[in-house]
Structure formats: C-alpha cells, structure tokens
Amino acid sequence: MFNRYNIDADDYGNCAIPTLEGMMELEPDDWIATGVGGKHWAIANDIFKKTYVEVGNDKKIVKAIQFDSWDEEMMSIIGVYAYDYGIYLININGLQVFLSQGDWIVTYQDGSQFVIPDEDWKAKK
C-alpha cells in the first residue's frame, strides 16, 4: 500500500499521503479514497462510517446505470445534479457524492443510491 498510494513514513511510524493540498497525515484505521484522476486522500474511520454504507447481499439492485456525460434530462431522471465542482448525487445520509466518468449509479430496492467506481463494479460482477 505504501507504494500504491505513495505513502511516506518517518522513523517514528508517522505516515502521510500526498494530496492536491499537500501532504496529509494518516492515522491508524483511516480509509484512503481515490478521486478523479487517481488522486488520493485520507478519511477518518468515524467520518467514513457516517458517510458510506456497506452494501450487503440482502439489498436487491433494481437499476444500475453507468455515468457517461449525460444531458440534463437524463440527469434529472437518475437523480443526479450538476454543480460547479462536478456532478453528484445525494447519498442515503444526505451527503453529496461526486461522480467520475465511468462510475456506476446503483439503485437498490429501498430507493437508496450509491456511486460505485467502474473497476469495483466490474470486480463484483
């Protein structure tokens, strides 16, 4: 993981990951997120658990659509929104989740929607 995410560690075991804003400290149990263009950043475990929901086998997928430069009509049908920083949907916790081209928007039987990166979607199929 150190090589994959270009993590730096000092002699005391402190770790940091390069982000667009500079080096960001990593703590034990942090999650590493990957955004547009392969950029990475750390998310504290408690924040990650409040933001994302683990999808178990008990949820039935009713729709899966791949994001690929949609027009406004298609975006309104799917329930995604355009903003200065990109295109996003509101997740089950009411937070904005931004989309990258190729991501999948998955809608479950309970109406919840999640963004799944293309490589993760293909790995689970």
- pLDDT tens digits for range 6-35: 899 988 889 999 988 889 999 988 998 887
Instruction: Specify whether the CB–CB gap between 124 and 106 falls below 8 A.
Output: no
What are the tens digits of pLDDT across the range 45-81?
A: 888 887 776 655 566 777 788 877 667 776 776 777 7
For the chain, the structural domain boundaries read 8-51, 61-124
pTM: 0.47
- pLDDT for 13 equals 86
Instruction: Specify whether the CB–CB gap between 102 and 67 falls below 8 A.
Output: yes
DSSP line for 74-119: HHHHHT-EEETTEEEEE-TTS-EEE--TT-EEEEETTS-EEEE-HH
Instruction: Specify whether the CB–CB gap between 82 and 67 falls below 8 A.
Output: no
Instruction: Specify whether the CB–CB gap between 106 and 118 falls below 8 A.
Output: no
